[in-house]
Amino acid sequence: MDLLETILEQHSKSQTDKIVRYIGNDPKRFAELMKLFFKGEYKVTQRAAWPMSNCVREHPSLIKPYFKQILTLLDKKDVHEAVTRNIMRLLQDVEIPKRFHGNIMNACFNYVGDINAPAAVKAFALTVLYNLSKEYPDIRPELQLIIGEQWDHETPAFRSRGKKILKALKK
């Protein structure tokens, strides 16, 4: 399969699923996708983000060699929302190497506190923060505070995720 051609052919769930099936748990094929994700033109990067996220959700170990690179994208302001959304989505489901915990927590708190951040990015960031709070209980009060501060002017997606996290934090 020519990944670039397939990515450009159409942007749909069925096309994403086709790419994910092709890549499977193959690190070489995943490397091809990541090359497009990191070095592709804007449209290619945007479209590669969805299958990347889905591949990692099915095979979390595939992302290990790329952590540092994906984290640099979280700090950039000129990346497509789909890129940020899919990075945050996959971070919910993988074991994050310790050396990146601080950077990821900062990025997540920044997204949650950013009034202009997309709802899905904020919801995924909340989950990532909750997951990290299991290892870093010191962030729990800040997580509770930021959910409370944002509550009145946030989307139903944020409130739903926030409510689940607040409940879990009380246990």
Which range among 8-22, 40-54, 94-108 shows the weakest confidence by mean pLDDT?
40-54
| Residue 106: per-residue pLDDT | 95
| Residue 49: per-residue pLDDT | 92
| Residue 115: per-residue pLDDT | 87
Contact between residue 29 and residue 69 where contact means Cβ atoms under 8 Å apart: no
| Residue 104: per-residue pLDDT | 95
| Residue 78: per-residue pLDDT | 81
**How many Å apart are CA 41 and CA 37, to the nearest integer?**
9
pLDDT tens digits for range 122-171: 999 999 999 999 999 999 999 999 999 999 989 998 999 999 999 999 87
Residue recorded with tokens 């951040």: 117
pTM: 0.90
DSSP state of 154: S
Phi first, then psi: give them for residue 136, nearest 5 degrees. Answer: -125, 75
Contact between residue 9 and residue 44 where contact means Cβ atoms under 8 Å apart: no
Q: Please provide the average confidence, as pLDDT, over all residues in the chain.
A: 93
pLDDT tens digits for range 58-116: 999 999 999 999 998 888 888 888 889 999 999 999 999 999 999 999 999 999 999 88
Secondary structure (DSSP) of 23-70: HTT-HHHHHHHHHHHHHS-HHHHHHHHHHHHHHHHH-GGGGGGGHHHH
Helix 119-133 / helix 101-113 crossing angle, nearest 10 deg: 140
Amino acid at 153: H
Could you tell me the residue ranges of all domains in the chain?
1-95, 98-171
pLDDT-based confidence at residue 39 (cuts at 50, 70, 90): confident
**How many Å apart are CA 77 and CA 72, to the nearest integer?**
11
Amino acid at 71: L
Q: Which of 124, 122, 112, 121 is nearest to 149 (CA)?
A: 112
pLDDT higher than threshold 80 for residue 40: no
Residues 6+ apart with CB under 8 A from 91: 104, 124, 128
Q: Report the percentage of the chain scoring pLDDT > 70.
A: 99
**How many Å apart are CA 40 and CA 47, to the nearest integer?**
10
